[in-house]
């Protein structure tokens, strides 16, 4: 099987969304999207991908087509609303973050995506607040990906 010749950003994001949608904690309950679902599609529990960023390393002093290391970041945003209080809201946010951790731990190289060598969570943050409609909790889970391109 040949290694990819262009960035695997989108195929990696799609596979991550597929795996998250299949996870028992999220399946059929949480809206998991490859990008901001928009205000018209807002659900009480959402996980979606924020802006992808990348850097690429290539060897120097070589001729011809070069093998490149494509490193990119997939930030996932988790939003939970509609719970009775902040404790219930943040408990649910924590459960959704744990589901993301499970997916990465179960397949740390996203084997379905050709060229991906390693996927890992590099940072997490959580926040909560009150609105007139009730509490809202959120988390940001940053996933780094290393892929090999030819």
pLDDT in tens, 89-118: 999 999 999 999 999 999 998 989 988 999
Q: How far is the CA of 42 from the CAs of 7, 14, 33, 38, 81, in angstroms?
A: 30, 20, 11, 6, 10
Helices marked H in 38-113 — which ranges? 86-106
Per-residue pLDDT, 16? 96
Let me know: does 116 contact 146? Beta carbons within 8 Å.
Answer: yes
Check residues 65 and 142 and name the one with the higher pLDDT: 142
Residue 64 pLDDT: 65
Alpha carbon separation from 86 to 77, 129, 140 (Å, rounded): 18, 8, 17
Torsion on CA atoms 39, 40, 44, 47, rounded to nearest 10 = -70
């Amino acid at each position: 099987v040949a290694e990819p010749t262009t960035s695997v950003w989108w195929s990696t994001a799609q596979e991550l969304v597929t795996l998250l949608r299949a996870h028992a904690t999220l399946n059929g309950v949480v809206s998991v999207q490859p990008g901001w679902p928009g205000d018209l599609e807002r659900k009480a529990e959402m996980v979606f991908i924020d802006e992808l960023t990348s850097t690429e390393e290539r060897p120097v002093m070589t001729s011809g087509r070069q093998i490149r290391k494509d490193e990119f970041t997939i930030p996932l945003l988790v939003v939970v609303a509609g719970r009775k209080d902040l404790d219930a809201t943040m408990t649910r946010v924590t459960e959704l973050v744990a589901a993301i951790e499970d997916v990465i731990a179960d397949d740390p190289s996203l084997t379905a995506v050709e060229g991906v060598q390693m996927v890992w969570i590099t940072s997490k943050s959580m926040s909560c607040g009150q609105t007139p409609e009730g509490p809202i909790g959120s988390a940001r889970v940053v996933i780094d990906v290393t892929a090999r391109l030819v």
